Structure 1
Amino acid sequence: MELTAELGSKIINEARKLINENIIIVNTQAIIIASTDASRIGQFHEGAEKTIETNSVIVLTREHQKTMQGIKPGINLPITINQKVIGVIGITGNPTEITPFASLMKKMTELLIRESMYIQESEWESRALEVLFLDWIQLDSLPPDFLSRAEVLGIKHTSPLRCSLLYIHDNPESHQINDLKRWLDLTLDSTLIRWGNNRLLLLTEEKDQSKSKLYLHSQLTSFQTYARTHLHVKTSIGIGSTVDSNVIKSSYQNAVKALRVAMNSQAIIFYEDLLLEICLDDVDHHLKKEFINRIISPIQEEDQLLHTLKVFLENNLHLKNTAKELHIHINTLHYRLKRIEKLTNLNPKATYSIASFYSALYYLDEKTK
């Protein structure tokens, strides 16, 4: 562990809450890297050099100031982590007055550094897990050493396995993501990975497939409730298929498809419960584009009409519920639906048109994401 100027500044900010004296943080080269007196940063501190060499507390007086470079009267305390000196904290002032604070300052400093080390280790582990899974979800077969590599990172799951993707809406803050991760860690026996800015990737064992689906749905329903009521964030969850080997590529891909469907209604969607969407996903990209153009191009730039159509379909053609969600009068809704029919030549209440609109909107969502 190496002391940085950033960490030194953090230590000083916390130390000033306990003692109203000038403080310096010195690295192992005896260079001041942080100080309440900015003019001292970058200076050599001979007293700190001796503190590092002897691994002992050194009291500096005005007499020392005459013969030692870069010092002021006060106390120097070694900062030790795992019995190794990694720097010095110096408190400037009358040694008699500041000595009672010295031991407390040393302990507080070392606690802050250990906390920083823990955060760094957690961030390293998180990045390592993300890299591992980026490899894992692309593999069609596992190299011999892959599971050993996974075990080093604490992944000991055995097949069958299932991937789930959890999406947190509205640009969540870091503390909200951390709270959600903590809840999942405490509730589910799984591997959890931060997957971009607002997604989490969950890997679970499916030991008893007849029960695990119900159990997983129940736990993730509780997760959504916690997120909504305690953190005021909405979530959507796509759950992939179960795979009978440690190759999780297909489960991940299916979780992506399920999440895309779940996004519209903040729902929990299992891939195996999808029917129409499985067929829609197998359509060629160019045919999807042509289908969008044929069905909804007349209203594609009409944001109000497009949104009205989406909400109408999501509410299963229920006029009253649609109007309520859109915050409009039901007569306004009738007008918009007639406008959609006029522009597209498709009646939003007719079976064929409903299937066509649903498919086109599904492809449009896929395109924009």
Structure 2
Amino acid sequence: MLRTSLSKKIIREIKSFIEEDLIMVDTSGTIIASTDPARIGNYHEGAFIAASQKEMKIISSSDEAMLAGVKAGITLPLFHQQKVVGVIGITGTPEKVLPYGELIKKMTELLISENYYQDQFEWEARSLETFVFDWLLKDGPSSAFQKRAEVLGVNMEVSRQVVLFEFQGDSTMLQPKRWNFSEQDLGLSDDDILVQWGHNRMILLLEKRKTAILPLLEKMRMILEKLAATSVFMGAGKDSTLSSVKESYLEAERALEVCNFDNPIVLEENLRLEMILQSIPTSIKKEFSERILHQVLGEQELMETIHAYLDKHSSLKETAAELHIHINTLHYRLKKFETLTNLNLKEVRDLSSLYLSLLFLDEYTK
């Protein structure tokens, strides 16, 4: 059965290259779309006959008085999967519209078929998204869950590694739920699962590889960034079994939080200090950094100096060269910084506090 929205779309598509009025009619004979809005909702007996008999019906001027709701022209039944799903009518002198009637019919059937497969694709995509959501965020797999996996063709026997992709800018690539690439383009196998995960994320349940996955992720990132015209960050969890795939997902989330433009791909297994820092609430981070740095936050020269000092691993010579200042000037600035903050830059405890306060400051002032 034709949907009204699809019928209107078809009318718009075809009307762009013919002058005659068009109607789209359902199998009960009701006009559901037309270039003449006044005809929508009316009964069209000629279209009903064409649908019932499964063949074109030519409507002459004399038929207008005999058949309900008709105008001279032709009505052509539309087939999908060998069933009549509707009728398209072309108004005009039959002799004039007959030559391209079959062409219009074929074009319309192609549009119907394309829309059907698009709907199927989106239904499967949504079903797979829901399945992955339940798998990762709900309780362990049940027998019903296993049945869903079989219907969707998901192999539940392989070990997997969860990878989260996050698109950093506005990308239209994720909008239609039909990407302009295939899984094979990204180097994925049949057992890998890739679905949309919110408005700016995708999630990949990657079948366990015998080789390192970093080269694969690098390749995928380059392809996706080219297609999306925006930067892509990737966070990967560790290998998991069926029962621990949720843990791999949480690890991937933790890794993604650490990603930045200098380090767009992060494997959770490589996290160290970041594992602890992510558990600290933002409000505590802000309070901590302000407690350490509040006396120097307005001192731009001192802040630039201390950043350079830490970047150069506390090397006075390299820091002075980086800032293009005399080493005595550097000594003066560092001493002033210590006085204002009450920190001793030679003490590991104070140096650690300084490092964390600057790290937190960068986070909440981005």
Shorter-normalised TM-score: what interval? 0.7 to 0.9
Counterpart pick for 1:240 among 237, 240, 243: 237
Q: Deviations over 1:55-77 (max 9, x none)?
A: 11000001100111111000000
Q: Any conservation in 1 of the 2:251–2:268 contact (CA below 8 Å)?
A: yes
**Structure 1's 182 and 201: CA in aligned 2 closer, same or farther, altered over 3 A?**
same
Q: Quote the Cα distance in structure 1 between the aligned partners of 2:155 and 2:96.
A: 55
1:356 equivalent to 2:350? Answer: no
Q: Which residue in the other structure is 1:324 paired with?
A: none
Q: Once the 2 structures are TM-superposed, how far is the Cα of residue 222 of structure 1 from its aligned partner?
A: 1.7
1:192 equivalent to 2:189? Answer: no
User: 1:296 corresponds to which letter in structure 2?
Assistant: E
Q: Quote the Cα distance in structure 2 between the aligned partners of 1:42 and 1:341.
A: 82
Q: Once the 2 structures are TM-superposed, how far is the Cα of residue 281 of structure 1 from its aligned partner?
A: 3.7
Q: Once the 2 structures are TM-superposed, how far is the Cα of residue 351 of structure 1 from its aligned partner?
A: 3.6
Q: Any conservation in 2 of the 1:15–1:105 contact (CA below 8 Å)?
A: yes
Q: Deviations over 1:2-44 (max 9, x none)?
A: 3122111111122123422111001122111111112211111
Q: Once the 2 structures are TM-superposed, how far is the Cα of residue 223 of structure 1 from its aligned partner?
A: 2.2
Q: Once the 2 structures are TM-superposed, how far is the Cα of residue 317 of structure 1 from its aligned partner?
A: 2.6
Q: Which residue in the other structure is 1:130 paired with?
A: 129
SS at match of 2:71: coil
**Deviates most, 24-33 or 155-164:** 155-164
Q: Any conservation in 1 of the 2:289–2:361 contact (CA below 8 Å)?
A: no
Q: Quote the Cα distance in structure 2 between the aligned partners of 1:175 and 1:131.
A: 17
Q: Any conservation in 1 of the 2:288–2:357 contact (CA below 8 Å)?
A: no
Q: Quote the Cα distance in structure 1 between the aligned partners of 2:343 and 2:224.
A: 39
Q: Quote the Cα distance in structure 1 between the aligned partners of 2:345 and 2:51.
A: 79
Q: Deviations over 1:324-344 (max 9, x none)?
A: xxxxxx79xx9xx99999997
Q: Which residue in the other structure is 1:30 paired with?
A: 29
Q: Once the 2 structures are TM-superposed, how far is the Cα of residue 119 of structure 1 from its aligned partner?
A: 1.4
Counterpart pick for 2:246 among 249, 274, 287: 249
Q: Which residue in the other structure is 1:149 paired with?
A: 148
Q: Any conservation in 1 of the 2:31–2:39 contact (CA below 8 Å)?
A: yes
Q: Quote the Cα distance in structure 1 between the aligned partners of 2:34 and 2:344.
A: 73
Q: Which residue in the other structure is 1:205 paired with?
A: 207
Q: Which residue in the other structure is 1:92 paired with?
A: 91
Counterpart pick for 1:317 among 302, 311, 319: 311
SS at match of 2:143: coil
Q: Which residue in the other structure is 2:283 paired with?
A: 289
Q: Once the 2 structures are TM-superposed, how far is the Cα of residue 180 of structure 1 from its aligned partner?
A: 5.9
Q: Once the 2 structures are TM-superposed, how far is the Cα of residue 271 of structure 1 from its aligned partner?
A: 0.4
**Structure 1's 96 and 180: CA in aligned 2 closer, same or farther, altered over 3 A?**
closer
**Unpaired stretches in structure 2, ≥5 consecutive residues:** 314-322
1:270 equivalent to 2:264? Answer: no
Identity of aligned residues (%): 31
Q: Once the 2 structures are TM-superposed, how far is the Cα of residue 224 of structure 1 from its aligned partner?
A: 2.1
Q: Any conservation in 1 of the 2:173–2:228 contact (CA below 8 Å)?
A: no
User: 2:218 corresponds to which letter in structure 1?
Assistant: T
1:15 equivalent to 2:17? Answer: no
Q: Quote the Cα distance in structure 2 between the aligned partners of 1:340 and 1:170.
A: 38
1:5 equivalent to 2:30? Answer: no
Q: Any conservation in 1 of the 2:51–2:77 contact (CA below 8 Å)?
A: yes
State which structure, 1 or 2, has the greater radius of gyration over its C-alpha atoms: 2
SS at match of 2:163: strand
Q: Once the 2 structures are TM-superposed, how far is the Cα of residue 193 of structure 1 from its aligned partner?
A: 0.5
TM-score normalised per structure 2: 0.80
Q: Deviations over 1:229-285 (max 9, x none)?
A: 4542110000111113344110000000001111454611100011111223455x5
Q: Deviations over 1:80-113 (max 9, x none)?
A: 1122111100001111111111111111111111
**Structure 1's 344 and 21: CA in aligned 2 closer, same or farther, altered over 3 A?**
farther
Q: Which residue in the other structure is 1:112 paired with?
A: 111
SS at match of 2:242: coil
Q: Once the 2 structures are TM-superposed, how far is the Cα of residue 316 of structure 1 from its aligned partner?
A: 7.5
**Structure 1's 276 and 226: CA in aligned 2 closer, same or farther, altered over 3 A?**
same
**Deviates most, 224-233 or 161-170:** 224-233
Q: Which residue in the other structure is 1:171 paired with?
A: 170
Q: Any conservation in 2 of the 1:191–1:204 contact (CA below 8 Å)?
A: yes
**Structure 1's 226 and 38: CA in aligned 2 closer, same or farther, altered over 3 A?**
same
Q: Any conservation in 1 of the 2:166–2:234 contact (CA below 8 Å)?
A: yes
User: 1:42 corresponds to which letter in structure 2?
Assistant: G
Q: Which residue in the other structure is 1:326 paired with?
A: none
User: 1:199 corresponds to which letter in structure 2?
Assistant: R
Q: Which residue in the other structure is 1:322 paired with?
A: none
Structure 2 counterparts to residues 45-60 of structure 1, below 5 A: 45-60=44-59
Q: Quote the Cα distance in structure 1 between the aligned partners of 2:64 and 2:90.
A: 14
Q: Quote the Cα distance in structure 2 between the aligned partners of 1:342 and 1:112.
A: 75
Q: Any conservation in 1 of the 2:177–2:196 contact (CA below 8 Å)?
A: no
Q: How many residues align?
A: 338
Q: Once the 2 structures are TM-superposed, how far is the Cα of residue 359 of structure 1 from its aligned partner?
A: 5.4
**Structure 1's 155 and 61: CA in aligned 2 closer, same or farther, altered over 3 A?**
same
Q: Any conservation in 2 of the 1:341–1:348 contact (CA below 8 Å)?
A: yes
Superposition RMSD in Å: 3.7
User: 1:182 corresponds to which letter in structure 2?
Assistant: F
**Structure 1's 316 and 343: CA in aligned 2 closer, same or farther, altered over 3 A?**
closer
Q: Once the 2 structures are TM-superposed, how far is the Cα of residue 183 of structure 1 from its aligned partner?
A: 4.6
Q: Quote the Cα distance in structure 1 between the aligned partners of 2:259 and 2:80.
A: 48
TM-score normalised per structure 1: 0.79
**Structure 1's 83 and 183: CA in aligned 2 closer, same or farther, altered over 3 A?**
closer
